[in-house]
A and B are shown apart, each in its own frame.
Chain A
Amino acid sequence: MLKKNLLFAGKNLIRMFLLLFAVSIATFALVAVSPIDPLQANVGQAALGSMSEEQKEKLRSYWGADTPPVERYVNWAKAALRGDFGTSLLYRQPVMNVIGVKLANSLFLMGLAWVISGLLGFVLGVIAGVYKGRWPDRLIKGYSLVIASTPAFWLALLLLLFFGVWLKVLPIGLSVPIGVEAAGVTFFQRVRHAILPALTLSITGISNITLHTREKMIEIMDSDYVLFARARGEKTGKIIFHHGLRNVLLPAMTLQFASISEIIGGSVLVEQVFSYPGLGQAAVAAGTGSDVPLLMGITLITAAMVFLGNFAANLLYGAVDPRIRRGGGKV
C-alpha cells in the first residue's frame, strides 16, 4: 500500500520536473525570438551611440547575444540547476535575491486570498446548492457569474476608489507606510496595507469554486442516498453534514489547489493597481523593462508553484479516493 502511494507520488513528481523543464525551454524560446535588442533595451540608445565598436562587442559577448540560442540555453540551464538564475538588469542583484524578497510579499497576499476565497467560496457554494432555484441560490449564482466577468484590476480600482479615496479608511498603495524604516514597520501596518489587495483577490477568486461546489452539491442533493436519508427522516442540516460535505470537500479542495495559476494571474494585476511590491509587479517591470533574466526566473518560479499546486491536488485525490490510485494516477 505504502509502496503504491510512493510510486504514485514519484510518477507525479517526475512529470512535474519534466513539465518544468518544458516550461523553461518554451520560455527561453519565446525570449530568444524577440526582436528586442538586449543591448539597446538595457544600455539605452544614447549610451549605445557613444560607445565604441569594441565596447559594444564586449557587452554583446557579456550578455551572450552572439552565441547561438541552444548553447545559451544550455549555459543558462546549467547555472539555473545550481540555483544561479543570473543577475537582474533592473535591480542589479542576483535574480534569486529579487525573487526571494518579492515572493515573500506576494505569498503573504496570495496565501491570505487563497484561504479566504477557498473557505468563503465553499460555504457559498454549499448554500447555493442546497437552496437550488430559490433566492439564496439566485443571489449567489448571479454574484459568481458577474464576478467571473469582472476583470480583477477594475474591481481593484473600484475598491481603491471606495475605501481609499472616498472613505479614506485604507491606504491606497504600497505594502508599508511611506517614510517608515523597514525595521519599524509593525505587523498591523503590513496587514492594513494588504487588506485591499487581498480583498480584491478573494472576491474574484470566489466565483470559480462557488459555481463548482454548487454543481456538485446539487448533484448530491438529487442522489438516491440523500433521498433515502430523507425517507429515514434525517433533517436537512444533518444530511448536509453527513452526506454532503464529505463528498463536496474533496473536489473543492482539488479545485482550489489547481487554481493557483489564476490567483497568481490576479495578483499580477492587483499588485499593479496598489503598487504592492510583489512578484507580479516585478514581472510587469521585467516585461516592460526587458529584464530577461528576471522575467525567466519569475516565469519558472510561478510555473513551479502552479505545478506544485497540481501535484498537491493529485496527491490529495489519490490519497482519499482509492479509485484514482488504482487507475494509474490519471486525473
Chain B
Amino acid sequence: MIRKKSQEASPVRLNERQKARLWLAVSILFLAGVAVAGYFCREAALVTDFSRKNIAPCFQYPFGTDWLGRNMFYRTLTGLSMSILIGICAAGVSAVMALLLGVSAAVFGKKVDAVISFFIDTVMGIPHILLLILISYAMGKGLKGVVVGVALTHWCSLARLIRGEVLALKQREYIQIAGKLGQSRLKIARKHMLPHLLPQFLVGLVLLFPHAILHESSVTFLGFGLSSAQPAIGVILSESMTYLIMGKWWLAVFPGVMLVLTVVLFDLGGSCLKRLLDPNSVHQ
C-alpha cells in the first residue's frame, strides 16, 4: 500500500506493465492478509456474548454483531480465510488435472483424445451445483465433501483450453521436426510443449480461484458441508436470511461485499499476471 501511495504522488505516469505489477501486488497482499488474519481470529470468531447481540455496525464492531453476540468482522475474516485456503487447494488440484488431461488428450493420438473429450463433455453436462451436491453426498457430506467436490470439478474448461493449445502446437514446424528427428512423444511433450504451456497454465490456475471460491460459498450456503456453528462465508449468509426480514441488513451485506471483493481481486490478479506473462505486451 505504501508503494502505491508514493507512486501515485509522483508525476510520472505508470505504464501498463507497472500498473499490472502494482495491482498484482495489491491483490496478493490483500488476499494473504485476509488468509492470515482469518487464521488468527478463529478463536474470537466463535465467542458468543449476549450482552452485545444485534449491534448495528459501529466503530468497535465494524460489521456489527449477530443474534448470539458474535463479532461479524471476525466471523467474516475467518470464513474468507477458509474459502481462500479451499480455493488454493481446489485450484491446484484442478489445474494439474487439467494439464495432465489436456496434454494427454492432444499427445496420445485420436482414441485417447476422443475418450478424454467425451469425459470432459460428460462432466460439463451436469450442472455444476448439482455435481457438487452429488459429490458432497458421495463423500458423506461434511467439509471433506465440499473440498473434494470443489477440487475435482474445476478442471474441465482449462483442460479444453490446454488441449486446443497443444493441438495447435502439434502443427508447428519445430514440433514436427523434433518428431521426424526421432524424439519420443513424451520427450516432445516435456521439452518442447510444456515450456510453451506454462504461462497459460499459471494464468488458468489463478483464474480458477474465483470460480472455486464462488462454488465453495454456494454449496455451503445450500447447507452442504459445514455445520451452522462454523464461520464459513456461505453459512454466515444462509444464517443471515432468517434475520434479514427483521432488518438486520448488516449480517448479509458486509460478508457478501468481502466475498465479492475477494473474488474480484483474484480475478484482477489473474488478468494482471496474464498481461505480465504475455511477451507481446512488453512494450505497453
* Cβ–Cβ contact A149 & B263, under 8 A: yes
The proximity string for B residues 239-256 relative to A, scoring 1 for CB distances below 8 Å and 0 otherwise, is 011001101010011001
B267 to A, closest residue via Cβ: A149
The proximity string for B residues 127-138 relative to A, scoring 1 for CB distances below 8 Å and 0 otherwise, is 111100111111
Interface residue? B237 (CB, 8 A): yes
Taking CB atoms, residues of chain A closer than 8 Å to B139 are 34-35
Name 6 extra pairs, CB < 8 A, besides A19-B121, A157-B237. Answer: A26-B122, A151-B218, A165-B244, A283-B129, A295-B137, A306-B126
Residues of A within 8 A of B (CB): 18-20, 22-23, 26-27, 30-31, 33-36, 145-146, 148-154, 157-158, 160-161, 164-165, 172, 261-262, 264-265, 268-269, 272-273, 280, 283-284, 287-288, 290, 295, 298-299, 302-303, 306-307, 310
Interface size class of B (residues with CB under 8 A): 35 or more
Interface of B is mostly: helix
Contact A272 to B222, CB < 8 A, known contacts A145-B267, A157-B244, A283-B130: yes
Chain A nearest Cβ from B30, distance in angstroms: 14
The proximity string for B residues 144-185 relative to A, scoring 1 for CB distances below 8 Å and 0 otherwise, is 000000000000000000000000000000000000000000
* Cβ–Cβ contact A151 & B259, under 8 A: yes
Contact A146 to B264, CB < 8 A, known contacts A151-B217, A287-B133: yes
* Cβ–Cβ contact A268 & B245, under 8 A: no
The proximity string for B residues 167-205 relative to A, scoring 1 for CB distances below 8 Å and 0 otherwise, is 000000000000000000000000000000000000000
Complex Cα gap A193–B121 (Å):
35
Residue contacts A-B, CB under 8 angstroms, 18 given: A19-B122, A19-B125, A23-B126, A26-B126, A30-B138, A34-B137, A145-B267, A149-B260, A151-B221, A157-B241, A160-B244, A164-B245, A261-B124, A265-B128, A283-B129, A287-B133, A299-B130, A306-B124
Contact of A284 among B138, B223, B240, B249 (CB under 8 A): B223
* Cβ–Cβ contact B141 & A36, under 8 A: yes
Chain B nearest Cβ from A268, distance in angstroms: 5
* Cβ–Cβ contact B137 & A302, under 8 A: no
Chain A nearest Cβ from B136, distance in angstroms: 7
**When A and B form their complex, what is the total count of cross-chain residue pairs whose Cβ atoms lie within 8 Å?**
142
The proximity string for B residues 106-130 relative to A, scoring 1 for CB distances below 8 Å and 0 otherwise, is 0000000000001001111111111
Interface of A is mostly: helix
Contact of B118 among A19, A145, A154, A288 (CB under 8 A): A19
Interface residue? B224 (CB, 8 A): yes
Contact of A261 among B128, B134, B136, B259 (CB under 8 A): B128
Complex Cα gap A20–B138 (Å):
20
* Cβ–Cβ contact A302 & B126, under 8 A: yes
A153 to B, closest residue via Cβ: B221
* Cβ–Cβ contact B125 & A287, under 8 A: no
Taking CB atoms, residues of chain A closer than 8 Å to B247 are 165
* Cβ–Cβ contact B134 & A269, under 8 A: no
